[in-house]
Amino acid sequence: MDTSQAPASNVASDAKIAAHAKRLSEQLQSLGSRLFPPDSRKTLRSFTSGEAARLLGVSDGYLRQLSIDGIGPSPDVSSSGRRSYTLAQINDLRRHVANAKPRGADVILPRRKAGEKLQTIACVNFKGGSAKTTTALYLAQYLALSGYRVLAVDLDPQASMTAMLGLQPEFDLADGDTLYGAIRYDETRRSMRDCIRSTYFDGLDLVPGNLELMEFEHETPRALVQGARPSGGLFFQRVGKALNEVEADYDVVVIDCPPQLGYLTLGALCAATSLLVTIHPQMVDVASMSQFLLMTADLLSVVRNAGGDLRHDFIRYVITRHEPHDGPQSQVVALLRGLFGDDVLAATVWKSTAIADAGLTKQSLYELDRGAVGRATYDRAIESLDAVNSEIVGLVRRAWGRDT
Ligand X SMILES: Nc1ncnc2c1ncn2[C@@H]1O[C@H](COP(=O)(O)OP(=O)(O)OP(=O)(O)O)[C@@H](O)[C@H]1O
Could you give the string, one character per residue 283-322, with x where binding to ligand X holds by CB under 6 A and - elsewhere? -------------------------------------xx-
Burial of 227 per CB tally in 10 Å (0-12, 13-18, 19+): exposed
Site for Mg ion in 245-264 (CB under 5 A): none
Q: Smaller CB distance to ligand X: residue 61 or 324?
A: 324
Question: What minimum distance in Å lies between the beta carbon of 258 and ligand X?
Answer: 6
State the nearest-atom distance from the C-beta of 25 to ligand X, in Å.
Answer: 20
Which of residues 119, 146, 160, 273 is near ligand X by CB under 6 A?
A: 160
What stretches of 53-115 adopt beta strand conformation (E)? 76-77, 83-85
Alpha carbon distances (Å) from 193 to 167, 205, 309: 18, 11, 25
Site residues for ligand X, window 243-282 (CB under 6 A)?
259
Residue 24 touching ligand X (CB under 6 A): no
Q: How far is the CB of 80 from ligand X (least distance, A)?
A: 35
Q: Residues 6, 329: contact at Cβ < 8 Å? A: no
In the bound state with Mg ion, the residue whose beta carbon lies nearer, of 51 and 256, is 256
Min. distance of Cβ 125 from ligand X in angstroms? 7
The angle that helices 60-68 and 87-100 make with each other, rounded to 10 degrees, is 90
Q: Which of residues 152-181 bind Mg ion (CB under 5 A)?
A: 160
Stretch binding ligand X (CB under 6 A), from 26-34, 59-67, 73-81, 129-137: 129-137
Best CA proximity match to 48, nearest among 97, 110, 90, 107: 90
> Which CB sits closer to Mg ion, 136 or 392?
136
Please identify which residue in 132, 149, 316, 397 interacts with ligand X, judged by CB under 6 A. Answer: 132
In 233-365, which ranges are E strands?
252-256, 274-279, 314-319
157, interface contact from Mg ion, ligand X, none, CB < 5-8 Å by kind: none
Contacts of 390 (CB under 8 A, 6+ apart): 142, 347
The CA-based diameter of the chain, rounded to the nearest angstrom, is 78
Site for ligand X contains 128 (CB under 6 A): yes
Check: CB of residue 83 under 8 Å from CB of residue 77.
yes
Considering the complex, what minimum distance in angstroms separates the CB of residue 391 from ligand X?
Answer: 16
Count of residues that interact with Mg ion, criterion CB under 5 A: 3
CB of 140 to ligand X, least distance (A): 13
Rounded Cα distance between 210 and 342, Å, is: 35
Cβ nearer to Mg ion, comparing 119 with 278: 278
Distances (CA, A) of 385 to 124, 140, 301, 322, 354: 18, 12, 33, 11, 12
Among 132, 184, 316, 397, binds Mg ion (CB under 5 A): 132
CB atoms within 10 A of CB 338: 9
Residue 194, φ and ψ in degrees, nearest 5: -75, -10
String marking each residue 337-376 x if it binds ligand X according to CB under 6 A: ------------x-xx--xx--x-----------------
DSSP, collapsed to helix, strand or coil, labels residue 313 as coil
Under the binding rule (CB under 5 A), the answer on residue 133 touching Mg ion is: yes
Please report whether residue 324 would count as binding ligand X according to CB under 6 A.
Answer: no
Q: Using the minimum distance from each CB to ligand X, give the nearer residue, 137 or 239.
A: 137
Q: Which is nearer to ligand X, 220 or 352 (CB)?
A: 352
Q: How far apart are CA 53 and CA 43, in angstroms?
A: 21
* Angle (CA) 49 53 57, round 5°: 175
129 interacts with, out of ligand X, Mg ion, none, CB within 5 to 8 A per kind? ligand X
Please work out, in degrees rounded to the nearest 5, the angle formed at the alpha carbon of residue 370 by the alpha carbons of 365 and 374: 100
- Which residues would be at the binding site for ligand X (CB under 6 A)? 128-134, 156, 160, 259, 320-321, 349, 351-352, 355-356, 359
- Which residues would be at the binding site for Mg ion (CB under 5 A)? 132-133, 160
